[in-house]
Amino acid sequence: MSNRFKPKFNIKKGDTVVVIAGDDKDLKKPRKVLEVIIDKGRVVVEGVNIATKHTKPSASNTKGGIVKVEAAINISNVQLWDAKTGEPTKVTRSRETGKLVRISKKSGEVIK
């Protein structure tokens, strides 16, 4: 994908989010984002969308077998968690001292 039309998302690696749609939907349980795949518009969230992967024995994994890993879900199915209000929130962006910061719409606080 070209950088000219690269999408901009309000969710970054390390953020706390809530799954708002899908099998693992839980609006009260905040989880951590492990990876953001910008080109595909997907995120890997801790403990969500667990898939079983069958692995062959290798040098690093001598036994092999079945491994449970988190698979990616669509970025539209998660929403940022506002720690101050304890609810999911939407995000607005604004410039403060030359830097672009994310601001929670519910509490009005800057998201770190």
Within a domain: 15: yes
CB 96 within 8 A of CB 88: no
pLDDT, tens digit, for every residue of 7-56? Answer: 889 999 999 999 999 999 999 999 999 999 999 999 999 999 999 999 99
Query: What is the pTM (predicted TM-score) of this model?
Result: 0.84
Q: In the chain, how many domains are there?
A: 1
Within a domain: 102: no
Task: Note down the domain range covering 20.
Answer: 3-83
CB 35 within 8 A of CB 42: no
Report the first-to-last Cα separation within the chain, whole angstroms.
28
Within a domain: 100: no
Within a domain: 101: no
Within a domain: 13: yes
Within a domain: 110: no
Within a domain: 45: yes
